[in-house]
Structure 1
Amino acid sequence: MKMNRRDALHHIVGISGVAVGASLLPNSVIAMETGYIIQPGEKLRYVPLDPMTVAKLAYNTGNGCMYQVFHSVIYSLGQSNSVDAEKFRTIPTALAAYGWAGVMGQGTICGNLNALAMLVNILDDVNGQQSALVDAMYRFFERETLPYSHKEFIDGIGSTDDKTLEVGQSSIANSITCHSSISNWSKASGKSFSQKKERCYRLSASVVHKLVELLNAAHNGADIAQLTGLTITEETAQCQTCHSTSKPLAPASSVKTNMECTTCHTGHFF
């Protein structure tokens, strides 16, 4: 018996639905069935989510920090009452799996931050605060003692006190890079990179929890910049008085960044 593509897909849906539930089908199958593909510049409507529920999903997802963050929020929106829920379900979240350990082990931008920027960029109903949300989350990652270590959070994501011993000490990254984040944690905890699994699982859960809190606030009309107060430090602002995008005649001064400068550069004032 011959089947066309649509019949074949319905056959797959039927088998998968019996086995695990149709809602768990890979997004690639859903995208093939609906024919919908998100386009550059398109925004999908956000609805408030429960921070702890999404954080728990991130913690239990695995496959690297970037995937944990991106998949947990996209999946949750796909199961939500958003008018774009079906569209969220077509997004192939597996593409985010490349971001582990700072982009396939390169130690560059932390996958948690890579993921949240990719996510925030496609969200609507956050009152045009995409840049403010990314800025606040990046400053949060630089300055907060992470991962969260309080008992309510550990219980909420479904971890245990025994696993807390694997984490050791939480730490401050003072940077948006995986390199600095892991190095400072290793120094604080006395553990090596190879022992980071539980720490990084909890880090992704912590980032997702904060992200959903801020997304909910933005959706409800809060001014994220004023709400968090998380902007560049006074030291970085001082650097930007000379080093900025408006210095075309001085190549050494023409830069674009909001990340902490003194993590890697010593100050110099004339």
Structure 2
Amino acid sequence: MKIDRRQALGQIIGLGSAAGLGLVSTSLMAATDENGNYQLALGEKLKYVPLDPMATAKLAYETGGGCMHQVFHATVTMLANSASVDADKFKSIPTALAGYGFAGVTGQGTLCGNLNAIGMLVNLLDDINGQNAAVIGAAFRWYENTKLPLDTAEFIAGIGSTAEKTELVVSSSVANSVLCHSSISNWSKASGKTFSQKGERCYRLSASMAYHLVELLNRAYKGEVISGIPEAKPSEEAQRCQTCHGSTETMGPAASVKTDMECTTCHTGHFN
């Protein structure tokens, strides 16, 4: 028996309606478990509200579990106890999942766990005046180019550390990279300490990054154009590299590159 296109379509829709009931049900239940308890769905975004930067930094300093866990746990916990309409949803997030990020992903020295946490956290947030990506970029550039951890007496007291513990840090340093490897190596050179002695330094670094992350989020929430602040831009040298190694266009045989991170930390360039 032959059927025309309209009849075939009707049969397909009919089958889809019957067989697809389970699919619809699964889709509708994507944000709950089998007992009806809320679970964050892929692509779901939660509402941010301004937080206290120092209180967040203090919680990160006190948390432990590695740098990624410190920053992620502190900000999620602060939002869980905030006036956000999604506070209860933030409470459901298992922050222990961020524990893998310590020392550049379980000791591999790659992306610093602080930055890994910032990317994961901001990616969960609902649109903040169109500036979520700019917040991540600004945090990454600040980490690369700022002498860290923050070491003012006010900050040290605010996070609950002491001047005596500063002797364990010896000196702050500039990472010149988003990599844990570079960050620790430059601090080791500046302080004379080894990787195994990084404890207090890295606790303070996580507190510093949590503090600055909240500052950036608060400023974005108020409508400040984060992409326009100096710290959000790649260095002049990196921008010069991008003129040839672009993401959409390149100069001659130059490779296409997608990154805003510092270039000459790893690459010597063409003329030196």
TM-score interval, smaller chain: 0.7 to 0.9
Do 1:167 and 1:196's aligned partners in 2 also have CA atoms closer than 8 Å?
yes
Query: Using a 3 Å threshold, how does the CA distance of structure 1 residues 116 and 140 change in structure 2: closer, same or farther?
Result: same
Q: Provide the rounded CA distance (Å) in 2 between the counterparts of 1:37 and 1:228.
A: 38
What amino acid is the match of 1:80? S
TM-score by length of 2: 0.84
Match of residue 162 from structure 2: 160
**1:111 and 2:113 are equivalent in the alignment:** yes
What is the Cα-based RMSD across aligned positions, in Å? 2.0
Instruction: Using the TM superposition, give the Cα deviation of residue 124 of structure 1 relative to its aligned residue in structure 2, in angstroms.
Output: 1.8
Instruction: Using the TM superposition, give the Cα deviation of residue 40 of structure 1 relative to its aligned residue in structure 2, in angstroms.
Output: 2.2
**1:243 and 2:245 are equivalent in the alignment:** yes
Do 2:71 and 2:206's aligned partners in 1 also have CA atoms closer than 8 Å?
yes
Match of residue 212 from structure 2: 210
Do 1:247 and 1:253's aligned partners in 2 also have CA atoms closer than 8 Å?
no
Paired residues, number: 241
* Higher alpha-carbon deviation: 82-91 or 251-260: 251-260
The structure with more radius of gyration: 2
Match of residue 59 from structure 1: 61
What amino acid is the match of 1:190? G
What amino acid is the match of 1:237? Q
Q: Deviations over 1:39-97 (max 9, x none)?
A: 22211000111000010000000000000000000011001110000000111110000
Instruction: Using the TM superposition, give the Cα deviation of residue 245 of structure 1 relative to its aligned residue in structure 2, in angstroms.
Output: 2.3
Match of residue 75 from structure 1: 77
Query: Using a 3 Å threshold, how does the CA distance of structure 1 residues 128 and 256 change in structure 2: closer, same or farther?
Result: same
1:42-191 maps to which residues of 2 (within 5 A)?
Answer: 42-191=44-193
Q: Deviations over 1:125-154 (max 9, x none)?
A: 521211100110000000000000000000
Query: Using a 3 Å threshold, how does the CA distance of structure 1 residues 105 and 87 change in structure 2: closer, same or farther?
Result: same
Secondary structure of the corresponding residue to residue 147 of structure 2 = coil
Secondary structure of the corresponding residue to residue 108 of structure 1 = coil
Do 2:101 and 2:116's aligned partners in 1 also have CA atoms closer than 8 Å?
yes
Match of residue 263 from structure 1: 265
Q: Provide the rounded CA distance (Å) in 2 between the counterparts of 1:258 and 1:101.
A: 22
Query: Using a 3 Å threshold, how does the CA distance of structure 1 residues 32 and 219 change in structure 2: closer, same or farther?
Result: farther
Q: Provide the rounded CA distance (Å) in 2 between the counterparts of 1:64 and 1:136.
A: 22
* Higher alpha-carbon deviation: 35-44 or 104-113: 35-44
Query: Using a 3 Å threshold, how does the CA distance of structure 1 residues 77 and 235 change in structure 2: closer, same or farther?
Result: same
What amino acid is the match of 1:55? A
Q: Provide the rounded CA distance (Å) in 2 between the counterparts of 1:115 and 1:71.
A: 9
Name stretches of at least 5 consecutive residues in structure 1 with no aligned partner: 1-29
Secondary structure of the corresponding residue to residue 162 of structure 1 = coil
What amino acid is the match of 1:216? N
1:214-225 maps to which residues of 2 (within 5 A)?
Answer: 214-225=216-227
Secondary structure of the corresponding residue to residue 184 of structure 2 = helix
Instruction: Using the TM superposition, give the Cα deviation of residue 226 of structure 1 relative to its aligned residue in structure 2, in angstroms.
Output: 2.1
Do 1:55 and 1:208's aligned partners in 2 also have CA atoms closer than 8 Å?
yes
Instruction: Using the TM superposition, give the Cα deviation of residue 246 of structure 1 relative to its aligned residue in structure 2, in angstroms.
Output: 2.5
What amino acid is the match of 2:46? L
What amino acid is the match of 1:36? Y
What amino acid is the match of 2:51? L
Do 1:54 and 1:72's aligned partners in 2 also have CA atoms closer than 8 Å?
yes
Q: Provide the rounded CA distance (Å) in 2 between the counterparts of 1:60 and 1:78.
A: 17
What amino acid is the match of 1:264? C
Q: Provide the rounded CA distance (Å) in 2 between the counterparts of 1:248 and 1:54.
A: 42
- Percent sequence identity over matched residues? 61
Name stretches of at least 5 consecutive residues in structure 2 with no aligned partner: 1-31
TM-score by length of 1: 0.85
Match of residue 11 from structure 1: none
Do 1:125 and 1:219's aligned partners in 2 also have CA atoms closer than 8 Å?
no
